Structures are given as structure tokens and as C-alpha cells.
């Protein structure tokens, strides 16, 4: 391409170049002030979190693109119905008198022929339309059945925040992924700390998080992060495009069918020998620490590490490490001199084993096939 793009005040003159640089610097300052104003409005409550997303979602309600399920089917069906009629009355108006006369003559002369052909086209179109109505009715029956068995989403205001800053498991995750040459995605990356730690360790890492608010600190620091949910992101990544996947946050309360979908995607998006790192609360800690409302309304709940290991092995993974961490909730044993010390300590040990212990764990697995 030749360099012919008209550049602003282009030319070799040093004064002009300096002038352009000043203008660009000034606009950069204005843009920084605009960003600061947006942050200030967010902090003050003028721009509640999620407001912009709600606007986007509202627009989708008016959009055939955004219509889901039944509404989209009905919208498409109405388009089929609307185009199933063919009008043979060709417009004959023209800016020129002779043009209109010629068009009318053509329409009159070809009317019998057009009528014959169009009648058959319309008959076919209505047959197709009728077939679609039958299909849509059947699909709506199926949807109603599925809907009756569906568990509701966890209300967005109740979604537990992804832990930010340094976590106990971040060094173990970095250790597991150091040396991976393909790209590594960190799901529910929050403020991007783990992405930056991985990058600092020489890993080609990027982060995704469904909350653009949570991502703001990472974006401000220039981290490679984007606002996407894990399932949605992995669905559009090519097979064997990733060397590592880190899962945390929402992975803990996915519905069972979403969890299956996540594991299927992870097992195909990772290269052979790719590393999966999964962080979760333990079921007992979840039961003890999550609010009752979240526990009751969450579509799913954390699994035991043994269950994850089972699910991963069934998809061709080998679990190479299970690391426990977080708060180690333990009842202290009583001293040997206490009355009935042996019986009391046996009961404490049983309680510690069954109900308490580490609150979180990390599973590291390698895709073998």
C-alpha cells in the first residue's frame, strides 16, 4: 500500500509535526479526564454497576437477534408468513409518461402468465409456512416441559465476588503452568492478579470474567483481559488452542449440565498434555460460609475434589495434584489431663474429619488424550 493516507497536517516541517503531537497529547489528556469522570460517577453511585449491561439487555428484547427461544421462533415465523404472499400487481409508475404506459402494457400482457405461475408459488409458500407452524408448536411444547424442570439462575446481585489480589493457591497455579508454551486462559480472573503473575512467569496468559466492573483494575493496568463468561468463551475457542485453563469462581455453582458442558469444552480446547487448574471451595466450607440465600438459590454447589477427579478422569485427564488450602477450620483437641480427654478428642477428630478441615482446594490435571 502506498503511503497516501491523508495525515493531519502531514509534511516534513518540524513545527507542523510538533503542533500535531501537541494536539494528540491534548486529546489524550481529555480522554484521560473522560475516563476519570466515568470512574468518579461509578464510585458515586450515579452509574450503578450493571446499568449499562441492563440497557444492552433491554435493547435485545426489541431485537430479533436478541429474541430467545419462543419469541425468536415466532418472529421468524411471522417473517415466513409475511413473505408467503406474492403480489402480481407490479408497480407501473414512472417519471416518464411513456415509461408508465409501457409498464402497464407489459403487466397487462403478461398477467395471465404471471397469475398461473404465482398461484403455484403461493401454494408452495403456504405449505412451507404451515409446516413451520406445526414444527414451532411442537418445539413450544418441548420448551414448556423443559422450563418446568429448570432451576433458576443465581440472581446477579448475589453472585459471590471472585477473590481478588493474591490468593493462597495462585503460586501453586503458576507452578503448575510454568513452561506451558500455548496460550493459557484464566476464567473468572477478577482483578487480573493471577494473569499478571502468570505473565511475569513467562506464560502467555490472558483473563476473562463475566463482570466488566471486576475487570476494571486489570484494564487500568493494561492486562490482557476481556469481559466474557467462561462457557461462552470456551465455546468459541478453537480445538486444541489452549495450553492451560484455570477455572475458579462460577465453576463452583454451575448447573450439572453446564458443568458437563464446561468439562467437555475444556477437554477439547486444551492441547494434549495441556494443564487444567481448578480452584473451588469445599462443599462443607460452602455450606458453612455462603449466605443461606445464596446456598438456597444457587443452581449448583461445589463438588468434593474426589468428584472433580472422577469427572476429569472420565474425559481423558490425569489428576497430578490435589492441594488443600484456605482457612483450615479445626476444633482444638483438649489436653491429656482433662476429664475424659480420650473420648472428647476422638469426638473432636471425628468432627474435624467429617465437617471441618481446609475450606478450599486446587486440582491440577493433565489432558492425556
Binding region for other proteins (CB under 8 A): 1-2, 4-10, 20, 23-24, 26-27, 30-31, 33-35, 37-38, 41-42, 46-47, 51-52, 55-56, 58-59, 62-65, 94-96, 99
Identity of the residue, 150 or 221, whose beta carbon is nearer to other proteins in the bound complex: 221
Q: How far apart are CA 119 and CA 285, in angstroms?
A: 70
Task: State the DSSP string of 308-350.
Answer: HHHHHHTTTEEEEEEEEEEEEE-PPPPPTTSTTHHHHHHHHHH
In this structure, the dihedral spanned by the alpha carbons of residues 91, 97, 102 and 105, taken in order and rounded to 10 degrees, is 70
Identity of the residue, 69 or 179, whose beta carbon is nearer to other proteins in the bound complex: 69
Asked if residue 188 lies in contact with residue 212, where contact means CB atoms within 8 angstroms, the answer is no
Question: C-beta of 72: minimal distance to other proteins in Å?
Answer: 8
Question: C-beta of 5: minimal distance to other proteins in Å?
Answer: 5
Asked if residue 282 lies in contact with residue 301, where contact means CB atoms within 8 angstroms, the answer is no
Sign of the torsion formed by the C-alpha atoms of 179, 185, 186 and 189: positive
Identity of the residue, 37 or 349, whose beta carbon is nearer to other proteins in the bound complex: 37
Nearest-10 crossing angle of helices 170-177, 193-200: 40
Question: C-beta of 60: minimal distance to other proteins in Å?
Answer: 9
Question: C-beta of 207: minimal distance to other proteins in Å?
Answer: 18
Q: H or E segment at 109?
A: helix 97-148
Identity of the residue, 64 or 256, whose beta carbon is nearer to other proteins in the bound complex: 64
Question: C-beta of 99: minimal distance to other proteins in Å?
Answer: 8
Q: H or E segment at 42?
A: helix 14-44
Identity of the residue, 99 or 109, whose beta carbon is nearer to other proteins in the bound complex: 99
DSSP helix/strand/coil, 233: helix
Identity of the residue, 218 or 270, whose beta carbon is nearer to other proteins in the bound complex: 218
Question: C-beta of 321: minimal distance to other proteins in Å?
Answer: 40
Amino acid at each position: 500500500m502506498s503511503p497516501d493516507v491523508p495525515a493531519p497536517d502531514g509534511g516534513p516541517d518540524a513545527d507542523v509535526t510538533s503542533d500535531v503531537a501537541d494536539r494528540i497529547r491534548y486529546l489524550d489528556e481529555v480522554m484521560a479526564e473522560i475516563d476519570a469522570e466515568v470512574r468518579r460517577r461509578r464510585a458515586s453511585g450515579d452509574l450503578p454497576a450493571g446499568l449499562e449491561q441492563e440497557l444492552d439487555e433491554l435493547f435485545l428484547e426489541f431485537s430479533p437477534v436478541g429474541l430467545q427461544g419462543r419469541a425468536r421462533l415466532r418472529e421468524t415465523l411471522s417473517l415466513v408468513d409475511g413473505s408467503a404472499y406474492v403480489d402480481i400487481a407490479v408497480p407501473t409508475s414512472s417519471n416518464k409518461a411513456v415509461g408508465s404506459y409501457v409498464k402497464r402494457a407489459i403487466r397487462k400482457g403478461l398477467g395471465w402468465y404471471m397469475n398461473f405461475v404465482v398461484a403455484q408459488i403461493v401454494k408452495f409458500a403456504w405449505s412451507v409456512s404451515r409446516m413451520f407452524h406445526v414444527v414451532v408448536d411442537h418445539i413450544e411444547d418441548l420448551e414448556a416441559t423443559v422450563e418446568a424442570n429448570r432451576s433458576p439462575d443465581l440472581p446477579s446481585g448475589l453472585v459471590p465476588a471472585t477473590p481478588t489480589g493474591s490468593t493462597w493457591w495462585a503460586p501453586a497455579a503458576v507452578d503448575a503452568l510454568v513452561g506451558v508454551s500455548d496460550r493459557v486462559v484464566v476464567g473468572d480472573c477478577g482483578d487480573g492478579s493471577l494473569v499478571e503473575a502468570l505473565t511475569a512467569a513467562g506464560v502467555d496468559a490472558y483473563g476473562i470474567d463475566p463482570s466488566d466492573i471486576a475487570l476494571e483494575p486489570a484494564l487500568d493496568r493494561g492486562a490482557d483481559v476481556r469481559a466474557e463468561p467462561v462457557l461462552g468463551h470456551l465455546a468459541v475457542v478453537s480445538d486444541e488452542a489452549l495450553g492451560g485453563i484455570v477455572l475458579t469462581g462460577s465453576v463452583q455453582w454451575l448447573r450439572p449440565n453446564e458443568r458437563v458442558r464446561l468439562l467437555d469444552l475444556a477437554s477439547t480446547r486444551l492441547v494434549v498434555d495441556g494443564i487444567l487448574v481448578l480452584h473451588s471451595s469445599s462443599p462443607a466450607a460452602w455450606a458453612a460460609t455462603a449466605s443461606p440465600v445464596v446456598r438456597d438459590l444457587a443452581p449448583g454447589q461445589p463438588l468434593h475434589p474426589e468428584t472433580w477427579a472422577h469427572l476429569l478422569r472420565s474425559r481423558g485427564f490425569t489428576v497430578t495434584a490435589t492441594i488443600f488450602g484456605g482457612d483450615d477450620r479445626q476444633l482444638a483437641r483438649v489436653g491429656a489431663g482433662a476429664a475424659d480427654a480420650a473420648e472428647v478428642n476422638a469426638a473432636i477428630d471425628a468432627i474435624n474429619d467429617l465437617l471441618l478441615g481446609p475450606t478450599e482446594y486446587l486440582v491440577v490435571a493433565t489432558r492425556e488424550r
